[in-house]
């Protein structure tokens, strides 16, 4: 079992090599805009999960997934030559849901901002339920003279 620091270094180098391999090894123009977002390597360095995103529609994502599956062996060979370690990790390509999650968070933040604006408008339009200043204050000398002279 490799230590955590070595696994991180191998994961980072694998990310660089897969990105480089997408432009050098994959000769399919349909692959589109694929971005490798993260790579996670198991502790024994046998398996690498490659997270990626695709700029475009759902159809573009499906085509990119098929192409990555097709070229997985060639990319693994490319990564193995670049890593120079005894065992090359198997590659598993996983579509990263990061852009969809970010878009959902943006929508939620816009909804919160809209509700806050509605509440602020409601506060400006409303008045006090009772007196404006309900707290008792000490009487002044003028108030005492006005009440005793009457």
Give the separation between CA 103 and CA 107, rounded to whole angstroms: 6
Tell me, what's the pLDDT at 85?
85
Give the separation between CA 82 and CA 75, rounded to whole angstroms: 11
Tell me, what's the pLDDT at 40?
92
Mind listing the pLDDT tens digit for each residue in 29-39?
A: 777 788 888 99
Tell me, what's the pLDDT at 2?
62
Q: Which residue has the higher pLDDT, 134 or 18?
A: 18
Residue 61: HSE in the Cβ half-sphere, 13 Å Cα cutoff: 14
pLDDT band for 139, please (50, 70, 90 cuts): confident
- Kindly tell me if the per-residue pLDDT of 148 is higher than 70: no
Mean pLDDT value across residues 81-105? 84
Mean pLDDT value across residues 130-137? 75
Tell me, what's the pLDDT at 23?
85
| Cut 0.75: pTM above it | no
Give the separation between CA 13 and CA 20, rounded to whole angstroms: 11
């Amino acid at each position: 079992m490799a230590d955590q620091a070595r696994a991180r270094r191998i994961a980072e180098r694998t990310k660089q090599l897969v990105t480089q391999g997408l432009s050098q090894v994959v000769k399919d123009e349909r692959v589109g805009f694929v971005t490798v977002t993260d790579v996670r390597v198991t502790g024994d360095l046998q398996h690498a999960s490659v997270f990626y995103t695709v700029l475009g529609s759902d159809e573009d994502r499906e085509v990119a997934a098929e192409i990555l599956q097709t070229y997985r062996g060639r990319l693994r060979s490319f990564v193995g030559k670049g890593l120079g370690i005894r065992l090359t990790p198997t590659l598993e390509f996983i579509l990263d849901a990061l852009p969809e999650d970010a878009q959902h968070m943006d929508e939620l933040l816009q909804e919160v901002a809209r509700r806050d604006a509605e509440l602020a408008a409601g506060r400006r339009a409303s008045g006090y339920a009772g007196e404006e200043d309900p707290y008792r204050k000490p009487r002044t000398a003028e108030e005492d003279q006005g009440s005793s002279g009457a």
